[in-house]
Amino acid sequence: MDFQIRGKLAYVNAGASGIGEAIADLLTQEGANVIVGDNDEQALQEKAHRWTGIVAADLSTAAGTNHAVAQVLRIFGRVPDILINNLGVGNSASFEELSDERWARSFEINLMGCVRMCRALIPGMAALGDAAIVNTGSDLAKQPEPGLMDYGVCKAGLLYLTKALARQYAPKVRVNTVLPGPIWTRMWTRPGGIVDQLIDHYGVEDRDAAVKQFLEDRYLPLGIGQPEDVANAVVFLASPLAKYITGASLDIGGTLRGLV
């Protein structure tokens, strides 16, 4: 499929693995020039040959964001046409276990990382007159779960941010959000990740059994998604094919929810 983005300049924030990596690869396959930022320098170096440029930085901090923005402007010579805000991480914990420090850290990663990047780039993108931003949210923004409360609260805030920016910068910059459900990434598979947390939650010994029980409890007949499932939607929203879509939130959750 031709997404009509050949020659476009794109920056993927937090794209060294998982959903961000899949987005960066698809943008590249479609002919865009892509810079990928992430705090995992080793992963970036291993995959650098696939993209136009890489930036190693802690994107949850103001200093890291400033460094990434400076590198993007240096490599491209101007602001990108496409900005993908993919920064986010969640860890299961009960509400009582969420300290002020944990809330603050989640806020920096899951909301302020996007806020800072948009604040730095969107005025210049608006001057281009035909730019697009896609933010990676979560189905938990609309489907609260106590075990990931700090993460979900931040992702709900991202929905408001997306709609407010879309209204302020239309028609020069389109701003949309995708809301992935369970996607098979490091957030799930890493030691101590969601799969290990499910093993503890269900009291089972086997990863497959834990995932099976989760799918049944959440009614996910389509199973767990792959990063490419999200990438296809993101690149569409970033492309001219979605020129009449802004302020939208697209569910990519593998299930049916209510009317909200």
The pLDDT of residue 34 is above 60: yes
Look up 151 and say whether it is catalytic.
yes
Specify the pLDDT at position 116: 98
Q: Which pLDDT tens digit goes with each residue over 48-87?
A: 999 999 999 999 999 999 999 999 999 999 999 999 999 9
Tokens describing residue 31: 């002919």
Q: Which pLDDT tens digit goes with each residue over 192-223?
A: 777 887 888 788 878 888 888 877 877 777 78
Q: Is the pTM of this model over 0.85?
A: yes
Neighbouring C-alpha atoms within 13 Å toward the C-beta of 105? 9
Tell me which residue of 9, 60, 22 sits closest to 38, measured CA to CA: 60
- Pick the residue with more confidence: 114 or 213? 114
Specify the pLDDT at position 228: 97
The pLDDT of residue 145 is above 80: no
The pLDDT of residue 112 is above 80: yes
The pLDDT of residue 257 is above 80: no
Looking up tokens 């937090």 gives 14
Looking up tokens 């209204």 gives 167
Q: Which residue among the candidates 11, 155, 160, 243 is catalytic per the annotation?
A: 155
CATH top-level class of 9-183+226-252: alpha beta
Q: Which residue among the candidates 8, 47, 151, 169 is catalytic per the annotation?
A: 151
Look up 160 and say whether it is catalytic.
no
The pLDDT of residue 92 is above 80: no
CATH 3.40.50.720 region(s) of the chain?
A: 9-183+226-252
Q: Which phi-psi region, left, alpha or beta, contains residue 4 (left: φ > 0; alpha: ψ -120 to 50)?
A: left
Specify the pLDDT at position 249: 96
The pLDDT of residue 22 is above 70: yes
Nearest 5°: CA angle at 213, between 210 and 218?
125
In angstroms, the CA 233 to CA 193 distance is: 25
Specify the pLDDT at position 212: 83
